[in-house]
Amino acid sequence: MKYKSPYVIAEIGCNHKGEMELARELITMAKVFCKVDAVKFQKRNNKELLTTAQYNAPHPNPINSYGETYGEHREFLEFNLEQHRSLKQFCEDLDITYSSSVWDLTSAQEIASINPDFIKIPSACNNNFEMLGWLCKNYSGEIHISTGMTTKKEIDGLINFYEERKRNKDLIVYNCTSGYPVPFKDVCLLEISRLKQEYEKKVKHIGFSGHHLGIAVDVAAYTLGANIIERHYTLDRTWKGTDHAASLEPAGLRKLKRDLLAVEEALAFKEKDVLDIEQVQRRKLKYQKS
């Protein structure tokens, strides 16, 4: 098995708490301290995405809310297109890749207009074929798509959708379990092997989007063949908000990238029976018959 180099995406999502200064601090930390490859935000048009009832309802977990209603909460955490454009430029200046998830057609059109290297489709939206079709036709970058809460039949339909539009070679398919955080028994890492067996020759990469605790699972995901690893990321897991508890802090994210690179280097066969590093020990320690 030939391993591709690990590519780590720090999903900032809405962990910026609606503050541009904090968003830039998260980007800088991800690049300078954690040394990851990309950061990812989220873009929603909340009145398009939510029904009137959902928009005006209270947040299901009021302690995490930034507004009186769920709609107000979501609007508080939303950056507009010009702010996203500014964040993309900030990323380019730091030499780290910018991206965003898109949750609706309007958001997809807006983010596509600033031409990021890739756009992410969350598990919740991977059946929005109007949005997927628009991106296939109008956006030339990579399309990353998560498969949480999605049946095997639906995943197969997704792959066929991109094949029919000749965009499957721009597609990255992520194994994902939708939960925050996900207990280890529900991570289901061997789904990576199934995705590779079914789709590796059809798509560009297989990835892993994790919402679990710690970093051991991500390293295992890489050894199973998911070379693109996405993790939620925050500066403080105790902050108010749904995603912080299932996120890595900078020290954890830095260790994840370090460990993935170490494992990449270690995943090799011996180039000869006795390596150069072993020769000294062989002469010193190997039993020799008198």
Q: How confident is the model at residue 290 (pLDDT cuts 50, 70, 90)?
A: low
Mean pLDDT value of segment 264-274: 94
CATH number of 7-285: 3.20.20.70
Mean pLDDT of all residues in the chain? Answer: 95
Q: Where are the domains of the chain?
A: 7-285
- Asked if pLDDT for residue 61 goes beyond 90, the answer is no
Q: Which residues contact 252 (CB under 8 A, 6 or more apart)?
A: 214, 215
Which tens digits make up the pLDDT trace of 83-105? 999 999 999 999 999 999 999 99
Mean pLDDT value of segment 203-230: 97
Which tens digits make up the pLDDT trace of 175-206? 999 998 999 999 999 999 999 999 999 999 99
Give the pLDDT score at 136. Answer: 98
Cα-based distances in Å from 165 to 11, 98, 123, 158, 238: 28, 26, 20, 11, 44
- Asked if pLDDT for residue 3 goes beyond 80, the answer is yes
In order, the DSSP letters of 55-74 are: HHSPPSSGGG-SSSSHHHHH
Which tens digits make up the pLDDT trace of 10-23? 999 999 999 999 99
Give the pLDDT score at 63. Answer: 85
